[in-house]
Amino acid sequence: MGKHIHNIKHQYLSLRALKEKIDEDSIVLQIDSQAENYMCKFSNEIQAVHFGDSHQQVSLHTGVAHTKYGVVSVCTISSSMRHDPSAIWAHLKKVLPYLKQLNTAATTLHVISDGPTTQYRSKKNFFFLSKVPYELGFKKVTWNFLEAGHGKGPADGIGAAVKRQADSLVAKGIDLPTGKVLYEQLLNQPSTVKLMYITEGEIEEMDSLLPDGLLTIKGTMQIHQIVSTRPEEISWRVLSCFCADPHPCQCFGLKKVNILGAQNMETALGSPSSSTCISTSPPIIDLHEGLIGDWCVVRYDGNPYPGIIQDVDAEGCALVRTMSHIGKTSSSGL
Ligand SMILES: [Zn+2]
């Protein structure tokens, strides 16, 4: 086992629904976890020798945004090879105002990213997502992690397309010695991808915003959704849920955490008045192998399904065999 089938299916279906029912209040941005690198080129390679044969590398961060008014592709170009949270947020700080221009009414930002990359699950990323979007006019943020093994994302082809366009410029005799020149030359070309340029200084500026003593969240690899509804406040859960959207819901054991370290205490968010919650079942906070064989309740598309935990892996994912919830006696694996 260890295939996390339930998580893959749940994340895929709930995030696809999110994109399909996009309204004026929200923007959904799916970003590519793997920044693409591009080697700067000269049309006449003899010139390269004068530059000490050290071709400059450029990194490309890409994304696909869904708004009520359409789908747009974005690509930021930087001479910095950093792929850490500061680099990601320098990228987002450029992209988000552009998306806000496309739909000025949007107040909720939903980010979708791959799950395996640790930089997205780091406390620095969590801090930035509870901070930067609010400064840009958003009032609510969710960050959703796709489960490993979901396949290629829509943003995966954008970097390759930009690189092909750059190569065709070189073939026409245009030198692309630096990221900045690459950006300026590509701007002159017809393209459906919105290009932006990020300096190393802009990434270092993000570094300077990080406070000391940020707290790590326990069980980070279990997290599939971060929710923030107030600056510098975040909650997390093991699967994404939008069942009460645009209102918050408490499904999958939504748990508020303090990452700033002002008080070193995690607070469980309990809301007995919420009818969408299974109040009789406490959320499973720490998945461990001792739970294999235990009954649990899986919330799926707003419905509770009883099931038996079949497998738990090191990343904190559980495989649950559930029973159909309306009148059927046969079991069905998710
Ligand atoms: Zn819910």
| 186-198: pLDDT as tens digits | 999 988 999 999 9
- pLDDT above 90 covers what percent of the chain? 49
Mean pLDDT computed over 276-288? 50
pLDDT-derived band at 247 (thresholds 50, 70, 90) equals confident
* 320 vs 164, residue with greater confidence: 164
CB atoms under 10 Å from CB of 88, counted, come to 28
Question: Strands 108-114 and 26-31, how do they pair?
Answer: parallel
With respect to residue 172, please indicate whether it lies within any of the assigned structural domains.
Answer: yes
**Structural domain contains residue 113:** yes
151 located within any domain: yes
Question: Is 269 part of any domain?
Answer: no
Query: 281 alpha carbon to ligand 1 midpoint, in Å?
Result: 15
Q: Evaluate whether residue 64 is within a structural domain.
A: yes
Average pLDDT estimate for 145-152: 71
Let me know if 318 is exposed, middle or buried by CB neighbors in 10 A (0-12, 13-18, 19+). buried
Between 1 and 52, residue with greater pLDDT = 52
Which is nearest to 89 in space by CA: 49, 29, 148?
A: 29
The answer to whether position 20 is within a domain reads: yes
Average pLDDT over residues 130-148: 93
pLDDT for 280 beyond 50: no
Say how many domains are in the chain: 1
Lowest mean pLDDT among 37-41, 77-81, 329-333: 329-333
240 assigned to some structural domain: no
Sign of CA dihedral 324, 310, 284, 243: negative
Query: How much distance in Å is there from the Cα of 299 to the middle of ligand 1?
Result: 8
On whether residue 249 sits in a domain, the answer given is no
Could you tell me the distance, in angstroms and rounded to a whole number, from the CA of residue 18 to the centre of ligand 1? Answer: 13
**Ligand 1 midpoint to CA 244 (Å):** 6
Judged against a pLDDT cut of 60, whether residue 178 lies above it is answered with: yes
Average pLDDT, the chain: 80
297 Cα to the center of ligand 1, angstroms = 14
Give CA–CA dist 64/28, Å, rounded. 8
Query: What range defines the domain where residue 172 resides?
Result: 5-209
